[in-house]
Amino acid sequence: MKRYPVPLVPGPTAVPPAVLEAGHYDFGSADLEEEFFDQYARVEEKLRAIIQTRNRIAIMSGEAMVALWGALKSTLSPGDRVLSVATGVFGYGIAEMARTITAEVTVVGFGHDEAADAEQVWAAIETFRPKMVTMVHVETPSGVVNPVAKVGEAVRALGVPLFYVDAVAAAGGAELATDAWGIDLCLVGSQKCLSAPPGLGMVAVSDRAWEEIDKTGYQGYDALAPFREALDRRWFPYTPCWQAIAGLEAACDRILSLGLASVIQDHAEVAAHTRHRLRQMGLCLFPRHEADCAPTVTAVRVPDAVSWDDLDRRLRAEGVVMGGSIGPLAGGVFRIGHMGTQADLALVDTGLDALARILA
Ligand SMILES: *Cc1c(COP(=O)(O)O)cnc(C)c1O
């Protein structure tokens, strides 16, 4: 496999050797070993510290999408009202996903280049009276961060039973206070800011959400229900991937040993530095307002003089891989993923130096 020395893709991010090492063991079936249950309990506790919750966290085998789907299917029944706050590919996508499980969905939509307006969301909740509000913390394809805390206030004040937040590209890199913000279903992936290998989806589930999960009774590979007591009963719905969970523990250790607050601060600084240098190069940030720019990924308009394919080829020739974008932004926007291990000034500067040379 071709390796690039300057990885700046917004996930999967570069996995440090200690994390890869931790996942390198090949012993036994996880669900028969007491040692595994101890490890699972430790990982859960470490994840709780990172996303600031006391809630139980289901650690599921599968990409983060398994968490996104599982949390919807486990809590929604046909006809349930869902209000989806959408500012990008994932926000609009979650609305579509809820529709396929025949929820009655209303979208409070915004442009891909802007963050949600909490007052508009407040008004929409008042008229629609949903059972669930869904939103995305960081829209990875467009580099926008949404006001989850403010929307959370509306959700609680107006008595919405469930608040579903896709924090996949935020957890471990942006301010995220799951319990203080009233998040009932907080969705996390292993391969973004945590810089663990791909393959795990995590959901922090509140007591209110467990009640809905009981009522809904959904069963399936992505069902959350079995995780409520899996650890206490020593009974998981499938053989857990011990290697992946061991890697995740080492990845959490990396963040906690650096200190969560300091890691989040580093992300903010690297992001601000990235934006500053891009502007110096005469490039145009994709989000309309700088305040809406995410601390974990920066989205930039592809300049008129080049195509993304050409730019991508020339960056790769210099050993740098940035991300294109997806959906309606494909070709028009490219992204610098400075999350997790990639929230590193020297790494980002090396990538930006190459970009500056190519565009000079
Ligand atoms: C990456 C991402 C996902 C999906 O993650 P996969 O690991 O590809 O399944 C969902 N939401 C957001 C915001 C993401 O950035």
List pLDDT tens digits, range 150-168. Answer: 999 999 999 999 999 999 9
For 54-96, what is each residue's pLDDT tens digit? Answer: 999 999 999 999 999 999 999 999 999 999 999 999 999 999 9
Give the chain's mean pLDDT. Answer: 97
DSSP state of 179: T
What's the mean pLDDT in 87-109?
97
Q: Is the pLDDT of residue 26 over 90?
A: no
CB count within 10 Å of CB 25 equals 10
What's the mean pLDDT in 34-47?
96
Q: Which residues contact 234 (CB under 8 A, 6 or more apart)?
A: 31, 37
Query: Is CATH 3.30.1280.10 what the domain over 17-257 is classified as, yes or no?
Result: no
Fold of 6-13+260-359: Aspartate Aminotransferase, domain 1 (3.90.1150)
Measured CA to CA, the distance from residue 257 to residue 242 in angstroms comes to 22
Residues 197, 268, 59: CA angle, nearest 5 degrees: 30
Write the burial class of residue 89 (CB in 10 Å: 0-12 exposed, 13-18 middle, 19+ buried). Answer: buried
Q: Which residues contact 277 (CB under 8 A, 6 or more apart)?
A: 349, 352, 356
Supply the pTM of this predicted model: 0.98
User: Reduced to 3 states, what is the DSSP secondary structure of residue 306?
Assistant: coil
* Cis preceding-peptide flag for 12 (omega within 30 of 0): yes
Each domain of the chain, given as residue ranges in start order, spans 6-13+260-359, 17-257
Residue 305 is predicted with a pLDDT of: 92
What's the mean pLDDT in 104-124?
98
For 300-334, what is each residue's pLDDT tens digit? Answer: 999 999 999 999 999 999 999 999 999 999 999 99
| Fold agreement between 6-13+260-359 and 17-257 | no
Kindly give the pairing relationship between strand 6-7 and strand 320-321: parallel
Distance 65 CA to ligand 1 centre (A): 6
Substitution site in 65, 195, 298 for ligand 1 pocket (most atoms within 8 Å of beta carbon):
65
For residue 125, the one-letter residue type is: I
Q: Is the pLDDT of residue 135 over 80?
A: yes
Residue percentage of the chain with pLDDT more than 90: 96
Residue 2 is predicted with a pLDDT of: 73
What's the mean pLDDT in 170-180?
98
Q: Is the pLDDT of residue 30 over 90?
A: no
CB 193 within 8 A of CB 173: yes
Measured CA to CA, the distance from residue 321 to residue 120 in angstroms comes to 38
Residue 1 is predicted with a pLDDT of: 67
Q: Is the pLDDT of residue 28 over 80?
A: no
- Residues in the ligand 1 pocket, defined by CB under 6 Å: 11, 63-65, 68, 90, 136, 140, 166, 168-169, 189, 191-192
Measured CA to CA, the distance from residue 105 to residue 83 in angstroms comes to 6
Distance 71 CA to ligand 1 centre (A): 14
Q: Is the pLDDT of residue 27 over 80?
A: no
What's the mean pLDDT in 103-119?
98
CB 210 within 8 A of CB 226: no
Atom of ligand 1 nearest to the CA of 167: 13
Write the burial class of residue 176 (CB in 10 Å: 0-12 exposed, 13-18 middle, 19+ buried). Answer: buried
CA distances to 73, 254, 288, 354 from 302, rounded to whole Å, are 38, 34, 15, 15
Flag the least confident range among 24-28, 106-110, 268-272, 275-279.
24-28
